Amino acid sequence: MLKETPLPTTVRPRHYQKLSERLRQFMTENHFQDGDKLPPERALAESFGVSRNSVREAIHAFAERGLLESRHGDGTYVRVPDMEPLRSAILEAVDSEGHLFDEVMEYRRILEPAVAELAALRRTPEQLDRLKIIACDQQRRILIDGDDGELDAQFHLCLAECSGNRLLINTVALLNEQYASGRTADLRDASWHQFSVASHLRIIDALERQSAEDCRKAVEEHLDPIVHKHLFVTARD
C-alpha cells in the first residue's frame, strides 16, 4: 500500500490537470454510467499513486462541472448532463424549416473535427480495436448489399466515445439520428461507399498514431463531400 504524501492545499495546475485527465480516462475505460458510484477516494489514490487530497481536488473539479456528485457520508456518483434541452433545440432547428439537413451537416462539419482531435489524444486500445472492427464490418456489408449506413453511424459514435466527453458523445448521437433520417440513396452510391471506408481507415491510422492534427484533417476530408452536395430529402411521417 502506498503511503499518502501530503501536498500543498493548492495543487499545481499541471499536476492537477494530469490527474483530472487520468480520472476521466478511468471513468471512460470502466464504462461508468449515470448514477454509478466511484470507488472510495482512498482506493483511487492508491490506484493513481497520489494523495487523497489530490483525488479530492480532481473530484471537486468534475463536481463543479456537473459531471460528478459528492454525497456526504455516501460517496461520489457519476452524473450525465441532461441532453433533453439540446435534443429539443436540434429537433426544433431541423423541423421548423422543413428538415434542413444541410445545416445538420454544417454543424457536424464544425463539431466532429474537434471531436477527432480529442479522440486521437484520449482513445484507448480497446476503442481503437472497436473502430477497426466496425470498418471491417462496413467493408463486408458493402460487398453484400451496400447498406452500410448503420455501421457508418456506429463508427462516428465510437469516434466520439474516444473523446471521453459525454456531452460530445450525446450530441453526435443526436446528429446521427437526424442525418440518418434525411440521407438520400443518391449520396451513398458505390463510389461513396468506397470513399467512406477509405476515409474511415485514414481516421483509424491517425488515431493509431495519436496524431490530433491528422485525425482532424481526415474527418474534415470525410465530411466535406457531404456538406458540399447537400443531397438530402425531407423525411416526414
d(CA 14, CA 29): 22
- 50 and 110 part of one domain: no
Q: Is pLDDT at 13 greater than 80 in this prediction?
A: no
**Domain total of the chain:** 2
Same domain as 179, residue 94? yes
Three cell numbers written together for 205: 491510422
pLDDT tens sequence across 198-214: 999 999 999 999 999 99
Range of the domain at 134: 83-232
Percent of the chain past pLDDT 90, that is, above it, reads 31
Residue 237 lies in a domain: no
Q: How many CB atoms lie within 10 A of CB 91?
A: 13
Last residue of a domain, one of 26, 60, 78: 78
pLDDT in tens, 107-165: 888 999 999 999 999 898 999 999 999 999 999 888 887 677 889 999 999 999 999 88
Does residue 216 share a domain with residue 134? yes
Instruction: Give the per-residue pLDDT at 131.
Output: 97
What is the model's pLDDT at position 15?
A: 66
Instruction: Indicate whether 57 and 115 sit together in one domain.
Output: no
Helix (H, G, I), strand (E, B) or coil at 7: coil
Helix axes 13-29, 52-64, angle to 10 degrees: 80
Domain identity same for 34 and 135: no
Checking 67-76 for CB contacts under 8 A at 24+ apart, the result is: 67/166, 68/38, 75/37, 75/38, 75/40, 76/37, 76/38, 76/41
62 falls within a domain: yes
Is 207 within a domain?
A: yes
User: pLDDT per residue over 158-199, tens digit each?
Assistant: 999 999 888 888 889 888 876 665 555 445 566 778 888 999
Residue 184 lies in a domain: yes
pLDDT digit string, tens, across residues 56-76:
988 888 888 778 888 888 899
pLDDT band at 5 (very low <50, low <70, confident <90, very high): very low
> What is the predicted pLDDT for the residue at 91?
64
- Number of helices followed by number of strands (H, E) in the chain: 10, 2
Instruction: Give the mean model confidence (pLDDT) for residues 81-91.
Output: 65
Same domain for 204 and 115: yes
Q: Of the candidates 36, 53, 78, which is a domain's last residue?
A: 78
* 8 falls within a domain: no
Position 82 scores a pLDDT of 66
The CATH number linked to 74 is 1.10.10.10
Boundary of a domain, candidates 78, 93, 119: 78
Please check the confidence at residue 101 and state whether its pLDDT lies above 70: no
Question: In this predicted structure, what is the pLDDT of residue 171?
Answer: 87
Cell of 103: 445545416
Determine, yes or no, domain membership for 1: no
Angstrom distance (rounded) from CA 61 to CA 211: 28
Residue 55 has pLDDT above 50, yes or no: yes
